[in-house]
């Protein structure tokens, strides 16, 4: 027999349509079957909460999820990169447990869909260890600037991954890391593989002014950094820009440009012409590295696609996409919360290839959702107040089942 459950809430926020006050959402067989204001006598009343679509974190590195605080120093950037490399070398056996921990933390922040960058030491089972996990696109990271390393990473990019070995709910992609860490031959192999195998791609691009200087002139902080590691390649830097990477991404069915803090207007315009390329803004990480204002609004105005990520605990205090959106609401106080909600839900779902199944509260989509407790004084208009301080994630549902609920929220309610 099909189990049908209806939930009532102070607000239902479908994201693709207007918020519904005192609305109901009905779930059956793991899917949303109706959203509206119809009153069902058997509805479970969740109280002074908002039901929203499950959040989508398009960019993180779960391997760092055991960190209790960001690595330091954050600046100069190459010192932070050195700290990241050092941490990886010191904790090679903690990758699996960190991924599992990060997935559970993500659930507690309302995240039901993730894009994760995986380096070494990971297995598919890390992403399926618990009964309830966010769906994840696992991007295999590719890093290599010099001969033997480039050859081994080209082989990794070319390694077939049969669909039969990818567990349900997961997806495989490639992540040539960044222009300062990836030889052009390796990057082009990754793009060619992604094109031939219809894989999503994620790249870090235009993250620092130093990266842009390295590409353009072959000078600056990154030159010194690469020389200190014995990785300097004089023939591959200079007379280049982020644009050549974006040009290559235009060939692909789906790709994510991570950060893009220093992309030029021309580069943003090129991305806007290819909406299958999504710019992923990581607000709190961007702020921690003290970059100038992020160009995400310019890309939106040009008609391009913008989604959100937390980046990892190596640069962020937690993995809460809800906190990222609340941070944005404070930083961009003139932007309606409704607009920010799109960035953290449907835009991210589309970027990860799940727009047909997730990202909005729409009949026929998976019942992946988050529940937000509202302040006792009320939330009169979610379009402008949903992300206010004090509003917290208290429950996360995956395909109609509660994957996590806060103790206070569960008390007194028949959530099972
Ligand atoms: Zn990253």
CATH number where 301 lies:
3.20.20.140
For residues 178-194, give the mean pLDDT: 98
- Asked if 150 and 170 sit in the same domain, the reply is yes
Question: In the predicted model, what is the mean pLDDT of the chain?
Answer: 96
341 and 252, same structural domain? yes
Amino acid 255: pLDDT? 98
Last residue of a domain, one of 351, 373, 392: 351
**Same-domain pairing of 89 and 198:** yes
321, 324, 325, 331 alpha-carbon torsion, rounded to 10°? 180
Query: Is it the case that residue 245 has pLDDT exceeding 90?
Result: yes
298 shares its domain with 395: no
Kindly state whether residues 99 and 164 are assigned to the same domain: yes
Q: Are 264 and 198 contained in the same domain? A: yes
**312 C-alpha to ligand 1 centroid (Å):** 7
Q: What's the domain count of the chain?
A: 2
323 and 364 co-located in one domain = no
Q: Answer whether residue 416 shows pLDDT above 60.
A: no
Average pLDDT over residues 270-287: 98
Q: What is the pLDDT of residues 325-336, one digit of tens each?
A: 999 999 999 999
The single-letter DSSP state of residue 144 is: B
Say whether pLDDT at 268 is over 90: yes
Q: What is the predicted pLDDT for the residue at 326?
A: 98
Beta strands in 29-133 (DSSP E): 31-36, 44-45, 49-53, 55-60, 111-118
Integer Cα distance of 399 and 402 in angstroms = 8
| Residue 34 domain-assigned (yes or no) | yes
Would you say residue 272 has pLDDT above 90?
A: yes
How far, in Å, from the CA of 318 to the mean position of ligand 1? 14
Record the pTM. Answer: 0.97
Of the candidates 256, 262, 318, 257, the one whose C-alpha atom is nearest the C-alpha of residue 286 is 262
Q: Are residues 64 and 47 in the same domain?
A: no
Provide the percentage of residues in the chain whose pLDDT is more than 90: 94
**For residue 200, pLDDT beyond 80:** yes
Burial degree of 12 (CB within 10 A; 0-12, 13-18, 19+): buried
- How far, in Å, from the CA of 311 to the mean position of ligand 1? 5
In a shared domain, residues 49 and 59: no
Residues contacting residue 411 through CB under 8 Å, at least 6 positions apart: none
pLDDT at residue 412 in the model: 59
Q: Are residues 97 and 43 in the same domain?
A: no
> How confident is the model over 381-403, as a mean pLDDT?
96
Assess whether pLDDT exceeds 70 at residue 414.
no
Q: Give yes or no: residues 155 and 215 share one domain.
A: yes
Q: Per-residue pLDDT tens for 50-79?
A: 999 999 999 999 999 999 999 999 999 999
Same-domain check for residues 256 and 278? yes
Is the pLDDT confidence value at 314 over 60?
A: yes
Q: Would you tell me how many other CB atoms lie within 10 Å of the CB of residue 98?
A: 22
How remote is the CA of residue 258 from the centroid of ligand 1, in Å?
7
Tell me how far the alpha carbon of residue 5 lies from the centroid of ligand 1, in angstroms: 39
* Domain encompassing residue 163: 55-351
Q: Which residue has the higher pLDDT, 180 or 38?
A: 180
Q: Is the pLDDT of residue 345 over 70?
A: yes
Q: Is the pLDDT at 47 greater than 70, yes or no?
A: yes
**What confidence score (pLDDT) does residue 410 get?**
78
Q: What average pLDDT does range 357-363 have in this prediction?
A: 98
Domain boundary among 304, 320, 351: 351
Distance 369 CA to ligand 1 centre (A): 25
Per-residue pLDDT tens over the stretch 118-149 = 999 999 999 999 999 999 999 999 999 999 99
- Final residue of a domain: which of 324, 351, 378? 351
| Cα-to-centroid distance, 205 and ligand 1 (Å) | 10
Classify 398 as helix, strand or coil.
strand
Region 156-168 average pLDDT: 95
Q: How far is the CA of 138 from the centre of ligand 1 (A)?
A: 13
């Amino acid at each position: 027999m099909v189990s049908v459950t209806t939930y009532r809430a102070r607000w239902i926020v479908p994201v693709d349509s207007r918020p519904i006050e005192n609305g109901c959402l009905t779930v059956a067989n793991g899917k949303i079957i109706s959203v509206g204001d119809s009153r069902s006598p058997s509805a479970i009343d969740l109280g002074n909460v908002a039901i929203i679509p499950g959040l989508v974190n398009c960019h993180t590195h779960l391997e760092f999820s055991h960190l209790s605080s960001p690595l330091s120093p954050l600046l100069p950037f190459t010192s932070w990169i050195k700290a990241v490399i050092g941490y990886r070398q010191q904790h090679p056996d903690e990758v699996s447990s960190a991924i599992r921990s990060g997935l559970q933390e993500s659930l507690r922040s309302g995240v039901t869909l993730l894009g994760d960058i995986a380096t070494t030491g990971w297995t598919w089972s890390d992403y399926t260890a618990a009964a309830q996990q966010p769906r994840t696109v696992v991007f295999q990271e590719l890093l290599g600037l010099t001969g033997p390393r480039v050859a081994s990473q080209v082989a990794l990019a070319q390694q077939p991954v049969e669909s039969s070995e990818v567990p349900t709910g997961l997806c495989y992609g490639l992540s040539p890391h960044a222009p300062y860490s990836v030889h052009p031959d390796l990057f082009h192999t990754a793009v060619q593989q992604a094109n031939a195998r219809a894989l999503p791609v994620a790249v870090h691009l235009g993250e620092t002014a130093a990266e842009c200087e390295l590409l353009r002139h072959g000078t600056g902080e990154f030159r010194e950094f690469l020389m200190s590691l014995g990785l300097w390649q004089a023939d591959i830097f200079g007379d280049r820009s982020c644009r050549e990477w974006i040009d290559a991404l235009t060939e692909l069915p789906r790709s994510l440009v991570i950060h893009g803090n220093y992309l030029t207007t021309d580069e943003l315009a090129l991305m806007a012409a290819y909406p299958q390329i999504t710019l992923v803004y990581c607000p709190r990480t961007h702020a921690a590295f003290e970059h100038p204002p992020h160009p995400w609004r310019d890309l939106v105005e040009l008609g391009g696609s913008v989604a959100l990520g937390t980046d990892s605990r190596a640069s962020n205090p937690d993995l809460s996409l809800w906190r990222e959106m609340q941070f944005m609401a404070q930083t961009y106080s003139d932007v309606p919360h409704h607009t920010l909600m799109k960035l953290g839900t449907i835009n991210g779902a589309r970027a990860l290839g799940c727009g047909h199944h997730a990202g909005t509260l729409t009949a026929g989509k998976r019942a992946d959702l988050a529940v937000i407790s509202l302040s006792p004084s009320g939330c009169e208009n979610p379009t402008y107040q949903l992300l206010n301080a004090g509003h917290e994630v208290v429950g996360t549902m995956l395909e109609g089942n509660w994957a996590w609920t806060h103790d206070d929220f569960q008390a007194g309610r028949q959530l099972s």
